[in-house]
């Protein structure tokens, strides 16, 4: 059993705030200073990282798992983990299944991937439309609760009725959206309603360890701390109404069912804001996107209690992050954009506060670019590797990532008659620092489509973002004047247009398309070879 | 190079040796994972080292194209470039010229091929191949050989064999004057196709040049030839090659192939198979390959192999989780690559232990019984091991035997769901 808490150093409603998330476990407390980051996952894994790499990344302390990919099976496979010998729902079955370390990682669970803005079929009164590899699935609030109970993440995101249909939502749709979102929160918190009936399909999935269908009903009825999406999309009226509904005293049967809560908000541990649907509906109504969003968030938060953490998903740049810290007081940010930048071959290179102020700079390096072919430097200019050459050190902070500051493994596996005793080699000494991986090496790996490039870049980019947040917290500590000054300076030094990420993304797409064409061309020539006239089918590309 | 045979099997031709190179000791027999483009697919050099791998392979043909010699030179060689400070072997590029380029023409001077980037005619001579490998800086470098497909017959095979011998002389000469002999070791590649007379002539000629070479590779195999022919060629070569030189069988990676080769006297082998098959979702185990793409694994919560020391298995990564991510997430490929590299190392490590302990024939029997189980032993393995005094069928006369290649694979149809 663990307990979640959040504390603020001073009760700031809107504006930069320092705080800390603490998850107390029986063995250890995990603390995340805020503003801070959480990593995103794809199919339950941090993209490109093996489990050992996840563990050596100090930046990864909180990961969010979007559960929809597991809905390919019914019941979802992770919900069966608690039934396995050696695990129980009292331990951390979701950690166990996905390979996260309870002593190091906070794992939260959301139904949908907050970065997925594709059009979806409408939600219903009792279901959210979610996306799985085998197509769209309907997820009901009662199923969601049972999955959460079986998986026992550290934090759960309540289902939200966020439309992913064509924007320009009617008044009626908005009303429905906030009513459903509140009702689904209520049903997540309601532990007194009967557990959902076992699925008919569960009979065939019961595995060899248990033949009893009843055991599929989670024995642990605990609901982890709930984070709630602030509903209302782009309508200030709807957003205010939704926040108000959280603060209304509960009455009638709902009040009884939710005892001891006196209002819905009592059951909420934190608030989330998904930018993807918000941006697309703001875009549909006007041009100045970001200046529209801040007032909307302010509307949502103006009556809600101050000391609850605010988590925003799908920001796209450090500039955007600074804006939400400065004018709203957002505490937690997902790192999806820096992880994505690693896909494109971008090594991030920015710092806050800015120490060197010459000219306008990009926030990173597109390592695909031929200019890095012979560049044997570490990935960032703003940070150095532990063993970087002396003249390069200045007062630069160290980038602790496995690309800039690799550390030799402390142990190795022996396979048979190869120990130091036999080989005569020296025993492995304690771990030592090794030279950084160079830009030239990663440039080479990118051009040869080697996956190792992305592993190193993800580790690096997360470390850069983590260092950025540490810098942010340091500046907030120094007071408002310093904050304003440093944010201003950051905006002057780093190009907010993100040309480098954009360009890398374009190049990445080109490479991807060219590869597709190559395959098609090969297939075509193969068909010519065999004299067939069959048409090459349309290739569906999946973004990896 | 220091090469020291420290134990021999009393029954088979298997042996354990200690090979000391400029980047440390590698115990033989060993399997070498392939890092074609200066990276084991998806992993870092540190991860490979933690897996207990002490010798990997880079491909000269690929590194010469990208990143190119200018970059490698500037970086201080391939070891530094990829952050790998253990032993490294490079091939000569001859095989890729034939397998990757349609337009390669072999002349006495060298291999003429169309540059894959510019299309310009480019000549790779034996001297050049060695010079390139000097810049790459691997601990073991290979001669440029005239490679023909193992299915080729007729005078071309003899021509290629003779030319490989002549090219070996040119490679030795080039290597002698390089000044890198103390850190780099040249291996000859025995050719001669599937013809035992040609193989014999090639062996004689190359053994005569033993003072110029640190070890011998057996080339021209693993190209789709009959397995029953394959092992006979390996045996012929191993029987004749000098005791005091390591023997390297090129392009061998299936567990049964490895163990048969070890029993016949092979010390080293390489193949992309274990890392490639990992990316397709297949985990190698002592009970045979496990195709984790198959839906029958979707609800299995046990690890791939509970006794496996690899990071994926010691972390108890379930087959269900692997099924969920393999071929969708690169992290799935990484998990299986880590496992398969360790599996190969374990197969060879256990062979070393058994040879030292004098129980190698028992190890072979146990391995084959468990690996093939009810699927039946490949007939060629039975034949090959009988030739060195091990009868897999001893005590189990009713055991099933399958002819042909008999490689074991987990197909969807075996267990439809």
Spatial distance between the Cα atoms of B164 and B95, rounded to a whole number of angstroms = 12
- Phi/psi region, residue A489 (left: phi>0; alpha: psi -120 to 50; beta: rest), is alpha
Please check if B9 is assigned to a binding site. Answer: no
Other C-beta atoms closer than 10 Å to the C-beta of B196 total 13
| Range B12-29 burial, b when 16+ CB lie within 10 A, else e | bbbbbbbbbbbbbbbbbb
Q: How far is CA A517 from CA A291, A510, A511, B34, B152, in A?
A: 41, 10, 10, 28, 33
Please check if B391 is assigned to a binding site. Answer: no
Same structural domain, A170 and A313? yes
B331–A454 C-beta distance less than 8 A:
no
Contacts of A448 in chain B (CB under 8 A): 37, 62, 66
Domain-located, residue A516: no
> How many domains does one find in chain A?
2
Spatial distance between the Cα atoms of B24 and A423, rounded to a whole number of angstroms = 9
Contacts of A406 in chain B (CB under 8 A): 44, 46, 83
The size of the A-B interface in CB pairs under 8 A is 194
**pLDDT at residue B56 greater than cutoff 70:** yes
Same structural domain, A7 and A102? yes
Under a CB-based contact definition with an 8 Å cutoff, are residues A245 and A182 in contact? yes
H-helix segments, B265-305: 273-279
A50–B317 C-beta distance less than 8 A:
no
Sequence-distant (6+) residues with CB within 8 A of A477 are A18
Domain-located, residue A536: no
Same structural domain, A372 and A322? no
Share of chain B above pLDDT 90, in %: 85
Catalytic residue at B200? no
Residue A124: DSSP 8-state: B
Domain-located, residue A513: no
Contacts of B62 in chain A (CB under 8 A): 448
B350–A544 C-beta distance less than 8 A:
no
Domain-located, residue A112: yes
Same structural domain, A353 and A436? yes
Last residue in a domain, options A289, A315, A334: A334
Other C-beta atoms closer than 10 Å to the C-beta of B71 total 20
pLDDT tens, position by position, B230-266: 999 999 999 999 999 999 999 999 999 999 999 999 9
Contacts of B348 in chain A (CB under 8 A): 415-416
**pLDDT at residue B289 greater than cutoff 70:** yes
Domain-located, residue A208: no
Catalytic residue at B270? yes
Chain A's closest residue to B77, CA to CA, is A441
| Range A247-263 burial, b when 16+ CB lie within 10 A, else e | eeebeeeeeebbeebee
Task: Choose the mutation target among A444, A445, A454, A459 for the interface with B, i.e. most B CBs under 10 Å.
Answer: A444
Same structural domain, A70 and A135? yes
**pLDDT at residue B415 greater than cutoff 70:** no
pLDDT tens, position by position, A469-513: 999 999 999 999 999 999 999 999 999 998 999 999 988 887 777
Same structural domain, A267 and A396? no
Please check if B95 is assigned to a binding site. Answer: yes
Under a CB-based contact definition with an 8 Å cutoff, are residues A364 and A338 in contact? no
Chain B's closest residue to A44, CA to CA, is B325
Under a CB-based contact definition with an 8 Å cutoff, are residues A362 and A346 in contact? no
Under a CB-based contact definition with an 8 Å cutoff, are residues B198 and B157 in contact? yes
Same structural domain, A299 and A350? no
Same structural domain, A283 and A403? no
How would you write the pLDDT of chain A (544 residues) with one tens digit per residue?
689 999 999 999 999 999 999 999 999 999 999 999 999 999 999 999 999 999 999 999 999 999 999 999 999 999 999 999 887 777 899 999 999 999 999 999 999 999 999 999 999 999 999 999 999 999 999 999 999 999 999 999 999 999 998 888 999 999 999 999 999 999 999 877 655 544 444 333 334 333 333 444 445 678 999 999 999 999 999 999 999 999 999 999 999 999 999 999 999 999 999 999 999 888 777 666 778 999 999 999 999 999 999 999 999 999 999 999 999 999 999 999 999 999 999 999 999 999 977 789 999 999 999 999 999 999 999 999 999 876 655 678 999 999 999 999 999 999 999 999 999 998 777 899 999 999 999 999 999 999 999 999 999 999 999 999 999 999 999 999 999 999 999 999 999 998 999 999 988 887 777 665 554 445 445 444 443 333 333 333 333 3
pLDDT tens, position by position, B168-223: 999 999 999 998 999 999 999 999 999 999 999 999 999 999 999 999 999 999 88
Residues B108-131 have a mean pLDDT of 89
Other C-beta atoms closer than 10 Å to the C-beta of A374 total 16
Last residue in a domain, options A288, A313, A334: A334
Spatial distance between the Cα atoms of A255 and A264, rounded to a whole number of angstroms = 9
Integer-rounded Cα Rg, in Å, for chain B is 21
Give the 3-state secondary structure of residue B343.
helix
Give the 3-state secondary structure of residue A361.
strand
- pLDDT of A89 reads 72
Please check if B145 is assigned to a binding site. Answer: yes
**Which of B91, B139, B257, B267 is flagged as catalytic?**
B91
What are the phi and psi torsion angles at A268 (to 5°)? -105, 125
Domain-located, residue A62: yes
- pLDDT of A359 reads 84
Question: Containing domain of residue A363, as a range?
Answer: 342-411+419-505
Q: How far is CA A543 from CA A42, A340, A345, in A?
A: 12, 11, 15
Q: How far is CA B50 from CA A52, A169, A253, B28, B54, in A?
A: 11, 55, 60, 18, 10
Which among A84, A402, A417 has CB closest to B44? A402
Nearest to A456 by CA among B53, B56, B46: B46
Give the 3-state secondary structure of residue B86.
coil
Same structural domain, A265 and A352? no
Task: Choose the mutation target among B293, B297, B331 for the interface with A, i.e. most A CBs under 10 Å.
Answer: B331
Chain B's closest residue to A72, CA to CA, is B324
Contacts of A456 in chain B (CB under 8 A): 44
Q: Given strand B2-8, what is the order of strands in its sheet?
A: B2-8, B15-21, B24-28
Under a CB-based contact definition with an 8 Å cutoff, are residues A82 and A88 in contact? yes
B83–A50 C-beta distance less than 8 A:
no
Domain-located, residue A139: yes
Say which residue, B199 or B404, is predicted with more confidence: B199
Under a CB-based contact definition with an 8 Å cutoff, are residues B151 and B224 in contact? yes
- Phi/psi region, residue A479 (left: phi>0; alpha: psi -120 to 50; beta: rest), is left
Domain-located, residue A510: no
**pLDDT at residue B282 greater than cutoff 60:** yes
Q: Which residue has the tokens 């809905």?
A: A71
Give the 3-state secondary structure of residue A384.
strand
Describe the crossing of helices A289-301 and A318-327 by its angle, rounded to 10 degrees: 40
- pLDDT of B417 reads 36
* Chain centroid offset of residue A252 CA: 38
Please check if B192 is assigned to a binding site. Answer: no
Please state whether the peptide bond connecting residue B203 to the residue before it is cis, i.e. omega within 30 degrees of 0. Answer: no
Q: How far is CA B410 from CA A317, B233, B316, B377, in A?
A: 46, 29, 22, 15
Under a CB-based contact definition with an 8 Å cutoff, are residues B347 and B31 in contact? yes
Spatial distance between the Cα atoms of B399 and B407, rounded to a whole number of angstroms = 16
Which among B80, B82, B342 has CB closest to A413? B342
The residues that bridge with B142 in the sheet, in sequence order, are B187
Spatial distance between the Cα atoms of A339 and A57, rounded to a whole number of angstroms = 13
Same structural domain, A318 and A351? no
B353–A416 C-beta distance less than 8 A:
yes
- pLDDT of A284 reads 72
Residue A451: DSSP 8-state: T
Other C-beta atoms closer than 10 Å to the C-beta of B197 total 9
CATH of the domain at A134: 3.20.20.105
| Range B338-369 burial, b when 16+ CB lie within 10 A, else e | bbbbbbbbbbbbbbbbbbbeebbbebbbebbe
pLDDT class for B333, splitting at 50, 70, 90?
very high
- pLDDT of B120 reads 84
pLDDT class for B396, splitting at 50, 70, 90?
confident
Sketch out chain B's domains with CATH numbers. 2-277 (3.20.20.105), 281-414 (3.20.20.105)
Same structural domain, A329 and A354? no
Residues B127-136 have a mean pLDDT of 96
- pLDDT of B256 reads 97
**pLDDT at residue B101 greater than cutoff 90:** no
* Chain centroid offset of residue B210 CA: 22
Same structural domain, A380 and A243? no
Task: Choose the mutation target among B18, B80, B321, B357 for the interface with A, i.e. most A CBs under 10 Å.
Answer: B321
Choice among A145-149, B37-41, B101-105, B280-284 with the minimum mean pLDDT: B101-105
Chain B's closest residue to A410, CA to CA, is B50
Last residue in a domain, options A266, A300, A334: A334
Please check if B308 is assigned to a binding site. Answer: yes
Residue A454: DSSP 8-state: H
| Diameter over CA atoms, chain B | 64
Contacts of B317 in chain A (CB under 8 A): 51, 99
Spatial distance between the Cα atoms of B24 and B52, rounded to a whole number of angstroms = 12
């Amino acid at each position: 059993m663990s307990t979640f808490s959040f504390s603020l150093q001073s009760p700031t409603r809107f504006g930069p705030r320092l705080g800390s998330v603490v998850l107390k476990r029986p063995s250890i407390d995990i603390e995340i200073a805020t503003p801070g980051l959480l990593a995103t996952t794809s199919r339950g894994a941090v993209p490109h990282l093996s489990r050992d790499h996840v563990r050596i990344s100090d930046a990864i302390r909180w990961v969010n798992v979007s559960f929809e990919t597991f809905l390919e099976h019914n019941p979802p496979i992770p919900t069966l983990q608690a039934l396995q010998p050696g695990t129980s729902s009292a331990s951390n079955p979701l950690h166990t299944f996905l390979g996260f370390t309870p002593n190091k990682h906070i794992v939260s669970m959301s139904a949908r991937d907050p970065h997925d803005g594709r059009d979806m079929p409408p939600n219903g009164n009792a279901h959210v439309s979610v996306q799985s590899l085998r197509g769209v699935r309907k997820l009901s609030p009662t199923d969601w609760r049972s999955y959460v109970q079986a998986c026992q993440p550290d934090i759960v995101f309540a289902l939200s009725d966020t439309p992913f249909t064509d924007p320009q939502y009617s008044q009626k749709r908005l009303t429905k959206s906030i009513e459903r979102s509140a009702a689904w929160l209520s049903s997540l918190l309601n532990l007194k309603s009967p557990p959902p009936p076992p699925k008919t399909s569960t009979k065939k999935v019961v595995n060899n360890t248990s033949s009893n269908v009843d055991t599929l009903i989670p024995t642990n009825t605990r609901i982890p701390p709930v984070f709630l999406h602030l509903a209302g999309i782009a309508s200030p009226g709807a957003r205010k109404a939704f926040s108000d509904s959280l603060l209304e005293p509960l009455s009638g049967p709902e009040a009884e069912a939710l005892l001891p809560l006196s209002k819905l908000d009592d059951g909420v541990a934190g608030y989330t804001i998904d930018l993807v649907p918000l941006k697309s509906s703001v875009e549909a109504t006007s041009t100045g996107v970001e200046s529209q969003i801040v007032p909307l968030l302010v509307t949502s938060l103006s009556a809600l209690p101050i000391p609850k953490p605010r988590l925003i998903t799908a920001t796209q740049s450090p500039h955007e992050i600074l804006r939400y810290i400065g004018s709203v007081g957002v505490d937690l940010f997902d790192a999806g954009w820096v992880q994505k930048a690693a896909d494109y071959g971008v090594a991030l290179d920015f710092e806050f506060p800015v120490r060197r102020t010459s000219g306008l700079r990009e926030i990173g390096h597109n390592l695909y670019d031929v200019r890095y072919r012979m560049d044997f430097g570490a990935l960032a200019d703003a940070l150095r590797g532990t063993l970087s050459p002396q003249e390069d050190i200045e007062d630069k902070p160290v980038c602790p990532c496995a690309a800039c500051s690799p550390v030799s493994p402390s142990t190795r596996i022996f396979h048979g008659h190869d120990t130091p005793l036999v080989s005569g080699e020296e025993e492995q000494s304690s771990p030592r620092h090794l030279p950084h991986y160079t830009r030239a090496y990663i440039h080479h790996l990118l051009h040869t489509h080697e996956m190792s490039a992305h592993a190193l870049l993800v580790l690096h980019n997360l470390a850069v973002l983590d260092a950025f947040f540490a810098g942010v917290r340091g500046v907030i500590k120094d007071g408002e004047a310093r904050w304003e000054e440093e944010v201003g300076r950051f905006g002057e030094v780093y190009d907010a247009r993100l040309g480098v990420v954009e360009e890398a993304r374009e190049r990445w797409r080109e490479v991807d398309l060219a590869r597709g064409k190559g395959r098609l061309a090969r297939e075509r020539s193969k068909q010519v070879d065999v004299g067939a006239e069959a048409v090459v089918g349309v290739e569906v590309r999946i973004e990896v | 190079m220091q090469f020291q045979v420290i134990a021999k099997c009393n029954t088979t031709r298997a042996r354990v040796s200690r090979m000391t190179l400029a980047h440390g000791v590698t115990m033989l027999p060993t399997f070498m994972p392939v890092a074609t483009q200066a990276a084991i697919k998806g992993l870092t050099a540190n991860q490979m080292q933690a897996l207990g791998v002490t010798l990997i392979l880079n491909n000269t043909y690929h590194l010469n194209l990208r990143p190119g010699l200018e970059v490698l030179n500037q970086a201080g060689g391939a070891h530094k470039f990829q952050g790998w400070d253990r032993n490294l072997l490079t091939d000569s590029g001859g095989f890729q010229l034939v397998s990757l380029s349609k337009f390669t023409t072999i002349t006495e001077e060298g291999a003429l091929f169309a540059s894959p980037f510019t299309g310009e005619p480019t000549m790779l001579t034996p001297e050049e191949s060695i010079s390139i490998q000097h810049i790459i800086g691997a601990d073991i470098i290979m001669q440029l050989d005239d490679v023909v497909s193992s299915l080729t017959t007729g005078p071309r095979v003899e021509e290629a064999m003779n030319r490989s011998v002549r090219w070996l002389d040119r490679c030795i000469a080039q290597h002698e004057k390089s000044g890198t002999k103390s850190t780099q070791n040249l291996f000859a590649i025995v050719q001669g196709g599937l013809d035992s007379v040609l193989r014999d002539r090639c062996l004689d000629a190359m053994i005569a040049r033993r003072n110029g070479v640190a070890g011998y590779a057996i080339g021209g195999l693993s190209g789709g030839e009959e397995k029953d022919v394959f092992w006979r060629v390996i045996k012929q070569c191993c029987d004749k090659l000098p005791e005091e030189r390591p023997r390297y069988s090129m392009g061998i990676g299936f567990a049964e192939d490895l163990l048969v080769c070890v029993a016949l006297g092979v010390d080293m082998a390489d193949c992309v198979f274990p890392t490639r098959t990992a990316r397709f979702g297949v985990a190698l185990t002592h009970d045979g390959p496990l195709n984790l793409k198959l839906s029958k694994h979707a609800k299995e919560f046990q690890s791939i192999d509970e006794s496996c020391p690899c990071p994926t298995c010691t972390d108890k990564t379930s087959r269900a989780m692997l099924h969920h991510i393999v071929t969708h997430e690169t992290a799935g490929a990484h998990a299986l690559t880590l496992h398969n590299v360790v599996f190969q190392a374990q197969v060879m490590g256990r062979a070393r232990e058994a040879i030292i302990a004098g129980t190698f024939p028992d190890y072979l029997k146990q391995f084959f019984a468990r690996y093939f189980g009810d699927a039946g032993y490949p007939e060629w393995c039975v034949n090959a091991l009988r030739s060195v005094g091990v009868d897999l069928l001893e005590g189990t006369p009713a055991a099933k035997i399958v002819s042909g290649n008999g490689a074991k694979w987990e197909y969807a149809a075996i267990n439809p769901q």
